Amino acid sequence: MGTMSRRTTTRPEPCPCGHPQPYEKCCGRLHRGEAAATAPEELMRSRYSAFARRDEAYLLRTWHPRTRPPRVEFDPAMRWTGLTIEETTDGTAFHTTGTVTFRARYTDSGRPDSLHERSRFERADGAWVYVDGDFID
């Protein structure tokens, strides 16, 4: 008697940014450098995913040189749990600046909380980069 092999299929990892595409086809391609964000909202989503995955290299690479910190510190007690984009302004192919207002949900040592921010983005050498943001609330 032969043994039956069971084919196990692994479900693609969901993207932390909340889009329905799997991580590999969504923010993963940006993190790997296979594509660049085409608008501030796409960059915001990919940066949120980079925080969720603790991808310091991507965060630094997509931070404007004039405001970029020397490194990104990740709090081991913090887990990012969801992103809501509330508003975007400018940031089309015809703009050099744009803003994204978002709420990023997280837990800190198991306690739920959120970060509400209006982020500013600029083009630097043709690529969208994060400049800074203002906290809301």
Q: Is residue 7 part of a domain?
A: no
pTM as predicted? 0.91
Task: Report the C-alpha gap between 38 and 12 in whole angstroms.
Answer: 24
Angle at 112 between CA 107 and CA 113, to 5 degrees: 95
> What per-residue confidence (pLDDT) applies to 11?
81
- Residues 12-51 have pLDDT tens digits of 899 999 999 999 999 999 999 999 999 999 999 999 999 9
pLDDT at 2 over 70: no
Provide the CATH number for the domain around residue 95.
Answer: 3.10.450.50
Q: Is residue 5 part of a domain?
A: no
Of 43, 21, 36, the C-alpha closest to 100 is: 43
Q: Is residue 55 part of a domain?
A: yes
Q: Is residue 95 part of a domain?
A: yes
Q: Is residue 4 part of a domain?
A: no
> What per-residue confidence (pLDDT) applies to 10?
78
State whether residue 130 is helix, strand or coil: strand
Say how many domains are in the chain.
1
pLDDT at 3 over 90: no
Task: Report the C-alpha gap between 26 and 114 in whole angstroms.
Answer: 23
Q: Is residue 116 part of a domain?
A: yes
- Residues 93-136 have pLDDT tens digits of 899 999 999 999 999 999 999 999 999 999 999 999 999 999 99
Of 75, 120, 68, the C-alpha closest to 98 is: 120
Task: Sort 53 into a burial class: Cβ within 10 Å, 0-12 / 13-18 / 19+.
Answer: middle
pLDDT at 91 over 60: yes
Domain limits at 123? Answer: 23-69+78-135
- Residues 53-88 have pLDDT tens digits of 999 999 999 999 999 999 999 999 999 999 999 999
